[in-house]
Amino acid sequence: MDRCTFCTGFVYLTILVVLPERFQIVNGDSALLSGVHLLPMLGATALGAFSAGAVSRQRNNTSWTLLAAHGLQLLGVALMLILQGITTEIKAQYGFQVLLGLGIGLSLGSATIMASIQSEKADLAVAQGIVAQARVLGGSIGIAICSVLFNTRVAKDLSDVMDPEDLSALHHSPTIAPWLPAELQLKVKSVFASAFTDDVKLMIGVAAIGLVTSCFTYERRPPPMPGSGAAKDAVGTEQSETELDDFAPKNGETNYTSL
């Protein structure tokens, strides 16, 4: 489960960084508009997290939900490969974002539920903390690796056509591209589009690992959901034989609770 959460965090936080950068550098959008472009994915993520709880409300379907979540993540991020060229229309990517967001939301919700069910009461806080930490760790590593890929691509393709000062500034902030000469702007857009494709390929590999690891969460007889009919049936007999018997009068004693 932690590996699944790690892969989800890797894809989620990385795409939140590299996709707006692509909108700004390749498509020339403002920072505000680049954030608006992410609304389909963010809305789908919220819907997916809600749906994860609704699907397992009465019956524990968390393992199946987690498997479907990583399948949607893999499909959504793989379709992002279509955005390779600098003149590629971006309308179709909204649908890709919805698929990816649904997968991420379902994964976050089902992982949280699974940690709650599988952990003892005393370990619940620790389990939830581990799940949250795995998500952040995956995202941090993903952003770091993608930054290295971008800087490597820039150094390889632009070192011969840009001044060292401009190249250093581009390493620190890719959004300086609009202030460069027209011919260099086109070259920077092409390089960043290639770097974005490299990032997407990396995320495809991580999403595929997440899909494989989600298969290992399958349980033939998963524990019932707390508060469901199956959970009440499982503990009903035990309560009647222990807790209720403590209040029954013993031989020679009077039950004063009825007075």
Whether the predicted pLDDT of 79 surpasses 50:
yes
Torsion sign (Cα): 224, 230, 234, 236: positive
Q: 23-27, 182-186, 226-230: which range is least confident on average?
A: 226-230
Domain covering 2-225 assigned CATH 2.40.340.10 in the classification: no
Q: Which two tokens stand for residue 128?
A: 């939830």
pLDDT of the residue at 53: 81
The band of 160, judged by pLDDT with boundaries at 50, 70 and 90, is confident
Residues present in the chain in total: 259
Residue 95 has pLDDT above 80, yes or no: yes
Q: pLDDT digit string (tens) for 185-237? A: 777 788 888 888 899 999 999 999 999 998 888 777 766 666 555 545 544 54
In terms of pTM, does the model score above 0.85? no
When computed from its CA atoms, the radius of gyration of the chain, rounded to whole angstroms, is 25
Whole-angstrom distance, CA of residue 97 vs CA of residue 99: 5
Residue whose token pair is 């469901």: 228
Residue 77 and residue 20 in contact, taking contact as beta carbons nearer than 8 Å: no
Q: Where are the domains of the chain?
A: 2-225
